[in-house]
Amino acid sequence: MKKETKTLAPAFAEPQDKKPVDLGFDLEGLMSDFPTAGELQKFVFDQTGVVLNLKGRSNKVKYQIALDTLNGQVPPAAVLGSENPYVDKNDIVPEDPLKTLPLQPEEIRGQKPATQFQSDIFPHPDPEFKAQGQKCSVIFRKYIDNTITYEIIGPIAQRPVGERINKFGQRTPERYTWVDPRTGEQVIQTASGRITPIGSRLKNFMSKHKVGTKTQWETWIDRDFVIGGNPAEALDNPWNV
């Protein structure tokens, strides 16, 4: 007698008429899962890398913008942010702004220097850095009319100020300030040859350092030069006659 065989249907077979599941985002889901603007911004950032600023806006607006962004639309510029939503501003150690450098002196404004020399042998103006033996960089410029200028160009460094305990129990600075020795360009010798007090000190310092039988001041800074024809053109093209 021939045995009958039965074919069993898979235990988890899906009904043939079942519709595919919609895996997209919708307003109801976003409002349910992310009840605050902060949580919503973090989710959008995780999914898209876009930083949104939705706080204070109506639910209708902020959830619609979030939904549109998640679906690939470009959000309005007015709601784009720049700070990582996971960063708590209370944990950020503030830093002072860099100082604003003065404008170039009026008597040389718009002119090109005839010679320029950078020295890295000056002690740092900051007492603490000076005690550590650190140096600063100074540029000397001489102009056609005999004016000489100096400018400290760096280096710039951050320095912690004060101390506080953050929410993780760690000691952090209250703020950061800048050790910024930059001066902007300053005149130390006028066209008439008058040397300023700081110019005298800089000249004496550079005169201690020799280049052969001459000083660095004579060799590299207060240099003699002769430019015929149009001085401005000669600075750009020395072959021009």
Q: What is the pLDDT of residue 22?
A: 47
> Residue 191: which pLDDT band, with cuts at 50, 70 and 90?
very high
Q: Are 135 and 121 in contact (CB under 8 A)?
A: yes
Give the H/E segment covering residue 48: helix 37-48
- The residues that bridge with 161 in the sheet, in sequence order, are 175
Each domain of the chain, given as residue ranges in start order, spans 27-79, 106-236
Whether cis (ω within 30° of 0) applies to the bond prior to 155 is: yes
* Distance set, CA 180 to CA 101, 108, 132 (Å): 10, 24, 16
Token digits of residue 109: 């404004």
* Single pTM value for the model: 0.64
Q: Outline where DSSP puts E strands in the chain.
A: 115-123, 135-142, 148-154, 157-161, 164-165, 171-172, 175-179, 186-189, 210-211, 214-215
Q: Is the pLDDT of residue 233 over 60?
A: no
Q: What is the pLDDT of residues 142-182, one digit of tens each?
A: 999 999 999 999 999 999 999 988 878 888 899 999 999 99
Q: What is the pLDDT of residues 40-99, one digit of tens each?
A: 999 999 999 999 999 889 998 989 999 999 998 999 999 998 888 888 777 788 899 999
**Which residue type, as a one-letter code, is found at position 158?**
Q
**Which residue type, as a one-letter code, is found at position 20?**
P
